[in-house]
Amino acid sequence: MKRPCLLIFGLGYTANALVDFLRDENWEVWGTTRSALTADLLRKKNIKALLWSEDSEIKSAINRSDYILHSIAPTEVGDPVYEKFAEQIISRSKLDTYLQLAFTVIMTEIGSMKKHPSIHQTTEGV
């Protein structure tokens, strides 16, 4: 039986909680990153890491994936995943699910973090 395959655009802090769970469930996980150091760390966790600059390898992973999770924040000029890979993703007739992780970052002052540290514990229960 083929293992389910997930490609995560922007495999960073937020998506890591999901990755740990899926690896234990025998999923094949691919993830993009801009950093060679992060790519090496992901590979040590048995994740197939792709550098953001590796367009042809990312396109191959898109074609292989059953699911895609988009976890890269938009920039002031638009969505980098859409700009580079929309055509490839849209052409996937057998893609089961495409999810876009949306989140809001609230910046706080150091003082409020010290007064209310519990509001900054975001990974518990994920």
pLDDT digits (tens, 9 = 90+) for 46-93: 999 999 999 999 999 999 999 999 988 888 888 899 999 999 998 887
Give 68-88 as a 3 state SS string. EEECCCCECCECHHHHHHHHH
Residue whose pair of structure tokens reads 């550098």 in the numeric block: 51
Any domain includes 32 = yes
Q: Is residue 54 a part of any domain in this protein?
A: yes
- 19: containing domain: 5-120
Say which CATH number the domain at 66 has.
Answer: 3.40.50.720
Note the pLDDT tens digit of each residue in 105-114.
444 444 444 4
Its pTM stands at 0.77
- Provide the domain count of the chain: 1
Residue 43 lies in a domain: yes
Q: How far apart are CA 125 and CA 52, in angstroms?
A: 30
In a domain, 125, yes or no: no
